[in-house]
Chains A and B, each alone.
Chain A
Amino acid sequence: MAEFRMPTLGADMQAGTVVAWLKKPGDVLRRGDTLAEVDTEKGVIDVEVFTAGVLEAIVVPVGAKVPVGTVMATIRAGAEPAAALPLPPPRGLPETGEERPVPPAAPATPAPATPAPIPPAPIYAPGLAAAVRLKISPAARRRARELGVDPAAVTGTGRGGAITLVDVEQAAARAAAAPRAAAIAAPPSVPMPPPADRQERMRRTIAAAMARSKREIPHYYLATTIDLGRAMAWLADRNAAVPVAERLLPGVLLLKAAALAVREAPELNAVWDGERVVLRETVHAGVAIALRGGGLVILAVHDTATRPLAELMTTVCELTVRARAGRMKSSELADSTLTVTSLGDRGVEAVYGVIYPPQVAIVGFGRITDRPWVVNGGLCVRPVVTATLAADHRVSDGHRGGLFLDAVDRLLQEPEKL
């Protein structure tokens, strides 16, 4: 039997509230089905399941707020009989959908009684080490309950960052001082905080992730200006011939070029697990999407390096709409391996990003703008873009980062091959 756990949807997430169950016990589950809706500071997330089988039992009721890693439901995998005996607790990490074999779907006829395949634990779940269990003293946990403080929103000052009594009491005092924040202190059974509150929580979440990044990650920064003359001409030709819905934006070329360039510096597509780097084989580029009214989310564009441009374009458009509507999927929030950020075609010339932990690099693209440019000794006007890289110096060095940006440049000179 598999356990469906509260996933970690980014390094900063510590708990989530179940808003709805979309399946009921006995329902057949396929890989990728949305099983539950979970409210987080990033919005209501569609949490997908990565084990095919039959939903056996729902453990966490609607309205309950539980820490990351909590078992929310149990799933009987394909060939398993209905559970008759208590099974040993799984040793696996929470579902992340990353490089995890899926047991076969339920066959029409009962399979011979072979032991159920135990899926191996994923290689790495982003942010897991930090987020599995809230580090809070027992006294502080009890006090938080008494005062109606959400421990997940409290910053700990005890040993190893543990949340202590003082932290909880100060948080309660702050909440009392700011009436709007009082909604946070509502008991966990209140299903949905108001949007203003979510925005505040998101701000705090971003603050925590970015402060951690700047505190822990020794960033180095590189920049290069890339001639996009060929890429823009190829794009104009291509777009002229196709209907609106099939047109590509330059940003998607940049996104794919960045994903492909990872081949030259694989250590940029990785996570830092606290002690060492863990390389990720597949590139799921995270695109930073600014939300209207403030805040941002980083959503994974799965398999960025291998999917055709048109498909990536559709995905980016769709992700943007859903992110802004507050409807995201757990895999999109959890899976990204390298962030690509662009402040858009009306934005600035260059962006020097802050790495999203536990990732180890962020690629930035500025506005595409016409500039005087020297080609073959002659001066001409070309569309250019400033590509930047902020990377973790614990993991990679400037030389490798430079090779990466150079590869981005080369790839963009042959847009037809992207």
Chain B
Amino acid sequence: MATREEVRAAAVAVLGGIAPEADLTALGADVPLRRALDLDSVDFQNFLIGLTKALGVEIADREAAALTTLAACMDRLAARSSPR
């Protein structure tokens, strides 16, 4: 259902709630999120919860660790929610 751009927008919105001080417009697609935004494990858990709510998708525990960048989120979640 969601396009790559929609996934990106959702991820940025969720991150905005977790790290309000960060300038997310400049966040490159391949930047490691946790280091760039200083996310700890609870922040990351909140990120995952926010993503699943926003996109209406489920993220497997094994898969969660792979969502290290915006690009990875787009690759995995847009593909998942496409009608294909």
Instruction: Assess A/B contact in the complex (Cβ within 8 A).
Output: yes
Q: Tell me, yes or no, whether B10 is within 8 Å of chain A by CB.
A: no
Q: Tell me, yes or no, whether A292 is within 8 Å of chain B by CB.
A: yes
Across the two chains, which residue of chain B brings its CB closest to A247? B61
Interchain CA distance A316-B42 in the complex, whole Å? 8
Q: Tell me, yes or no, whether B45 is within 8 Å of chain A by CB.
A: yes
Q: How far is the CB of A316 from chain B (nearest CB, A)?
A: 6
Is there an interface contact between A247 and B41, defined as CB atoms closer than 8 Å?
no
Q: How far is the CB of B39 from chain A (nearest CB, A)?
A: 9
Is there an interface contact between A244 and B48, defined as CB atoms closer than 8 Å?
yes
Instruction: Give the contacting residue for A293; candidates B21, B58, B64; CB below 8 A.
Output: B21
The number of residue pairs between A and B whose CB atoms lie closer than 8 Å in the complex comes to 53
Is there an interface contact between A345 and B40, defined as CB atoms closer than 8 Å?
yes
Partner-contacting stretch, out of A96-104, A210-218, A235-243, A349-357: A235-243
Across the two chains, which residue of chain A brings its CB closest to B53? A245
Question: Which secondary structure dominates chain A's binding surface?
Answer: helix
Most A CB within 10 A of own CB, among B18, B41, B64: B41
Is there an interface contact between A251 and B42, defined as CB atoms closer than 8 Å?
yes
Q: How far is the CB of B25 from chain A (nearest CB, A)?
A: 18
Which residues from chain A contact B58 at a C-beta distance below 8 Å? 243-244
Instruction: Give the contacting residue for B46; candidates A251, A292, A317, A345; CB below 8 A.
Output: A317
Is there an interface contact between B61 and A236, defined as CB atoms closer than 8 Å?
yes
Most B CB within 10 A of own CB, among A251, A324, A325: A324
Q: How far is the CB of B27 from chain A (nearest CB, A)?
A: 15
Interchain CA distance A320-B58 in the complex, whole Å? 23
Known contacts A244-B52, A292-B38, A346-B34; is A320 also within 8 Å of B46 by CB?
yes
Q: Tell me, yes or no, whether A59 is within 8 Å of chain B by CB.
A: no
Pick 5 A–B contacts, CB within 8 A, sort by A: A245-B52, A251-B41, A320-B42, A321-B46, A346-B35
Residues of A near any B CB (own CB < 8 A): 236, 239-240, 243-245, 247, 249-251, 290, 292-293, 316-317, 320-321, 324-325, 344-346
